[in-house]
Structure 1
Amino acid sequence: MPTASIISTLGAGSGIDTKQLVSDLVDAQYAAQTAKYETNSEKLEAQISSVGELLSGITGFSNALKSRASDGSLTTQPTVSDSSILSVSAQSGAALKGLDTQIEVRQLASAQVSSSEVIADPQAHIGTGTLTLAFGTAEVADGEMTGFTPGATSVDIAIGEEDGSLQGIADAINAADAGVTASILTDADGARLVLKSATGAAQAFTLTATETEGDEGLAALNVGVGATGTSIGTAAADAIVAVDGVAVRRSTNSMGDLIPGVDIDLARASPGTLVKLGVRQPTAALSGIVSDFVDTFNEYLGMVREATDPSSGTLASDSAVRTLSRSLGGMTLQKLVPDAAPGVPSTLAEIGVATNRDGTLSIDAERLAAVLASNPQAVEKMFSASAGLPKKLAEIADAAANAKTGLAASETRFNDRQEELDESREKALADAETMRTRLTQQYAAMEARVASYRSTQDFLKQQVDAWNGAND
């Protein structure tokens, strides 16, 4: 008999609600296991959630501090008196102080730019052969190269039948990657081949054709002394700048070797104009980051203390959280600038950040202001992106994320326990269903027997009643 049919007949013979009885017996048998599962599951879910929040919190705290320390707002920056002439920026890791320099931009570095005469159809065949590109220094006047001193570099570029058009020649030059960029400039009159070198006086170039006999035409693109089919729009030249009156040359307009720790980008030449370079110290930004660090630290510490509360904390007995708490507790006394000279602040405590009795941090505003006024470089070093406080906090975050000993290990352990608990619950549910089926079948058999007994009883009663009626 199917289980559904058995269940529907339970109680039919005895009058007892055996269906409810079976349910009550099964529930009673597994009540303790169910209650234990619910309790343990709720505890594990709370632990998993709590450890996840703490791990995410310390990682986010560390990343935010590192990002802030890397954006340049906490480091001394160079300044210029006229940014239309040149711009400056601090090199990574540079310690700038006492910068007092004057720069005169006498000439910008430029590239040689040549152009051919107009060709009506850029796809039309011009010729084949070899183009030899040679680099050196040149004299240019009125768009013509009047002199050229070759250097040690030259490149041969083969121009075959498939490359013989203006566009094909430009593509072949670019494919050679020889230091000159070719492009096609088109206007209403037609197309021109434009060649451009890198900047610097030594990047002047000539282009000389060796033509295939019977397929001449490449010589029209020659660039150099006596070339008639091309003109020089811009001559190759070095940048000339005077640093505190001393003139120097550079092949580009971006230079990082004139002033230690400073990158300079030239915008325009202005002979006779002196641009003054100085520094701007990030005093306000440093004061702000100290305040932000303390506020964030205290907020995160509150999360840790709530999780480790002896009576109500979900992670009160977790060793990884206790280790994290101890690491945070020693932050103000950590030496953040190992190479600091005697008397130079190197810990948070020495710039006015104190640890209170409850573990939270507070700021002595007057002391911080005094340190920022007398030694801002020391505070700046404490918040260096590659060292200092960002590095210390990153070490704590990395330890928390350790898969063997940190919060990540605790998270894995709690998840494994939850999985084991779920498997035990599934087994208990399966056992309960087995018991339910067994009891249902047993009580169904009992009900069948009771029903049979009652049928016999009813028959005998009818017979007795019949006999008694006959005797009357």
Structure 2
Amino acid sequence: MNTSGSSIISALGAGSGVDFIKLASDISAASFAVQRDSIAARKTSLEAQISAAGQLRASVTGLAAALGDRIRNGDLAPRGELGNAAVARVSVPPGVSPRGNFALEVTQLAQGQTLLGRSYASRDALVGEGTMTLRFGTVAGASFAPDTARAAIDIAVTATDTLASLSAKINAATGGAVQAYVATGTGGAQLVMKGREGAANGFVIETAGAGGAAAPGDLSYLGWTPATNAGQLQGTARDAAFRLDGVAMTSPTNRVTGLPGGFTLNLTGTNTGAPTSLNFANNTDAIAGVMSDFVAALNDIAGQVNQLAAPLGGELGNDPGARELRRDLARLAGQVVMPGAVDGEPRTLADLGVALNRDGTFRLDTARLNRAIETTPDAVAAMFTTGVSGVFGTIDRFARENTVVTDPGSLGSSLRRFEAQVAASDERLARIAEQQEALRERLTRQFTASERQVAASQSTLTFIRQQVDIWSARDN
């Protein structure tokens, strides 16, 4: 009987022994696993496509930007050469191509006014309270013609101001129009004031001191006009004067702009009576170098397209934007970049030696490039400006057309589409997570209710076990 009673209890069980919380979680996760895994795989594929499209876009825009920088920096501009390099330095702003030969004669350099104040015992000597006024204009001999278009500058000087602190106030008040500092020499401490280049940048110093006596310690001691000059004027403000091909010209500074062809001169010396030659020559070596770099950059892009847009295994194998980029690259060498070129002048990139290989890569025909440079150097140089025509304008349009997001057939549009699909996948995964959580909570409630029923059954089983034990004891 004991054996029979134990078998009954064992068959009825002592409890469910099931982890209903884990069971609910596992069932809810399994219910959405297929959808979740499918979307996650699609998202991984999209992210690979985004990376590939972004890589191609960066390469295309980087080529246009690098080429633009080379041209804007003046690397490819004609070089000016002076027979007398001590007279000036020549620079060519980006986007201009001066031509021809000139004769340059510099008779006078521009300079600013230099004024040396009277001596003080030290840089810490008090200068006296009052107001110092600076007026600008033209100094000529003992006369001064004020520039009525420029306002005078008033500087308030306190009783505690020294020669050193006054120089600092002058610098701050004039904003660089006058530079002041204190120099200490054998004659004591002196205030040095220097104006900007140009005849119109001369200046006078008007002072209103408290004491009224022109002596150290009174501000009037620092006043100056051409009529009262006693050796303080060390240099008169003046314009630069020069002749270009015999034409007399002036400039308020030694940096001269507005010259024929757009070049700039920085005058550094005079050569009165001995004009020097100024010639401009195309920078053919730089052009050959940039064409070599240009073809190498095109090959880098073509190699990426061949890999990333391969029909089999390429992340962008079926992408319309990548296919359009491949077609544009194939058309690039024969594209007209100089529509206004006359017969015999280069019109296309092919005329500069750019050739397309069978595999979609490029090569540089150096013989054809050199022939174009030798026979039409000015026309070749004109292709390397920042205008709408030329090599840069063509590559800039090529980059923009392939990266614009509004064209459904462009790489830029493909990239935006991939990003939108990734965002949609994230939203779908978020909704699945919400649905999975809702299912888990519902199952948990159901299993909890079942557990309570099991618990009640266990209570009944316990009672039956006790009765069986009693019956078994009586039978013994």
Give the TM-score normalised by the residue count of structure 2: 0.78
Superposition deviation, residue 255 in structure 1: 0.8
Runs (5+) with no aligned partner, structure 1: 1-10, 140-146
Asked if 2 retains the 8 angstrom alpha-carbon contact of 1:116 and 1:229, the reply is no
SS in 2 for 1:185: strand
- Please say if 1:299 is aligned against 2:296: no
Question: Equivalents in 2 of 1:16, 1:225: separation in Å?
Answer: 109
SS in 2 for 1:335: coil
Cα distance change on mapping 1:264 and 1:20 into 2, 3 Å: closer
Cα distance change on mapping 1:17 and 1:132 into 2, 3 Å: closer
Query: How many residues in Structure 1 have an aligned counterpart in Structure 2?
Result: 450
Q: Which residue of 2 aligns with 1:6?
A: none
Structure 1 window deviating more from structure 2 (59-68 vs 245-254): it is: 245-254
Question: Equivalents in 2 of 1:41, 1:333: separation in Å?
Answer: 40
Q: Which residue of 1 aligns with 2:189?
A: 191
Q: Which residue of 1 aligns with 2:53?
A: 51
CA deviations over 1:115-139 (Å, ceiling 9, x no partner): 1210225552446467573633424
Superposition deviation, residue 439 in structure 1: 6.4
Question: Equivalents in 2 of 1:360, 1:418: separation in Å?
Answer: 37
Asked if 1 retains the 8 angstrom alpha-carbon contact of 2:64 and 2:399, the reply is yes
Structure 1 window deviating more from structure 2 (308-317 vs 438-447): it is: 438-447
Q: Which amino acid aligns with 1:368?
A: L
Asked if 2 retains the 8 angstrom alpha-carbon contact of 1:110 and 1:199, the reply is yes
Query: What is the RMSD computed on CA atoms of the aligned residues?
Result: 3.8
Q: Which residue of 1 aligns with 2:425?
A: 418
Q: Which residue of 2 aligns with 1:430?
A: 437
Asked if 1 retains the 8 angstrom alpha-carbon contact of 2:79 and 2:281, the reply is yes
Question: Equivalents in 1 of 2:19, 2:166: separation in Å?
Answer: 99
Q: Which amino acid aligns with 2:397?
A: E
Q: Percent identity?
A: 28
Q: Which residue of 2 aligns with 1:398?
A: 400
For residues 220-369 of structure 1, the aligned pairs below 5 Å read 220-227=221-228, 230-271=231-272, 273-369=274-370
Q: Which residue of 2 aligns with 1:150?
A: 145
Structure 1 window deviating more from structure 2 (343-352 vs 117-126): it is: 117-126
Structure 1 window deviating more from structure 2 (393-402 vs 160-169): it is: 160-169
Question: Equivalents in 1 of 2:195, 2:31: separation in Å?
Answer: 89
Asked if 1 retains the 8 angstrom alpha-carbon contact of 2:115 and 2:194, the reply is yes
Asked if 2 retains the 8 angstrom alpha-carbon contact of 1:101 and 1:277, the reply is yes
- Please say if 1:115 is aligned against 2:116: yes
Superposition deviation, residue 44 in structure 1: 2.3
Q: Which residue of 2 aligns with 1:104?
A: 105
SS in 2 for 1:187: strand
Asked if 1 retains the 8 angstrom alpha-carbon contact of 2:183 and 2:192, the reply is no
Q: Which residue of 1 aligns with 2:158?
A: 162
Asked if 1 retains the 8 angstrom alpha-carbon contact of 2:28 and 2:437, the reply is no
Q: Among residues 23, 43, 49, which one is paired with 1:41 in the alignment?
A: 43
Question: Equivalents in 2 of 1:136, 1:15: separation in Å?
Answer: 106
Q: Among residues 88, 92, 95, which one is paired with 1:93 in the alignment?
A: 95
CA deviations over 1:217-246 (Å, ceiling 9, x no partner): 355334344525552212333333343455
Question: Equivalents in 1 of 2:246, 2:350: separation in Å?
Answer: 46
Structure 1 window deviating more from structure 2 (382-391 vs 255-264): it is: 382-391
- Please say if 1:61 is aligned against 2:56: no
Asked if 2 retains the 8 angstrom alpha-carbon contact of 1:182 and 1:193, the reply is no
Asked if 2 retains the 8 angstrom alpha-carbon contact of 1:117 and 1:229, the reply is no
Asked if 1 retains the 8 angstrom alpha-carbon contact of 2:333 and 2:349, the reply is yes
Q: Which amino acid aligns with 1:430?
A: E
SS in 1 for 2:41: helix
SS in 1 for 2:270: coil
Superposition deviation, residue 27 in structure 1: 5.5
- Please say if 1:181 is aligned against 2:178: yes
Question: Equivalents in 2 of 1:270, 1:348: separation in Å?
Answer: 45
Asked if 2 retains the 8 angstrom alpha-carbon contact of 1:132 and 1:155, the reply is no
Question: Equivalents in 1 of 2:234, 2:58: separation in Å?
Answer: 59
Cα distance change on mapping 1:441 and 1:169 into 2, 3 Å: closer
Asked if 2 retains the 8 angstrom alpha-carbon contact of 1:355 and 1:362, the reply is yes
Q: Which residue of 1 aligns with 2:10?
A: none
Runs (5+) with no aligned partner, structure 2: 1-12
Cα distance change on mapping 1:418 and 1:57 into 2, 3 Å: farther
Superposition deviation, residue 110 in structure 1: 1.9
Superposition deviation, residue 339 in structure 1: 2.8
Superposition deviation, residue 262 in structure 1: 1.5
Question: Equivalents in 1 of 2:173, 2:472: separation in Å?
Answer: 123
For residues 66-81 of structure 1, the aligned pairs below 5 Å read 66-81=68-83
Q: Which amino acid aligns with 2:426?
A: E
Asked if 2 retains the 8 angstrom alpha-carbon contact of 1:202 and 1:236, the reply is yes
Superposition deviation, residue 330 in structure 1: 2.8
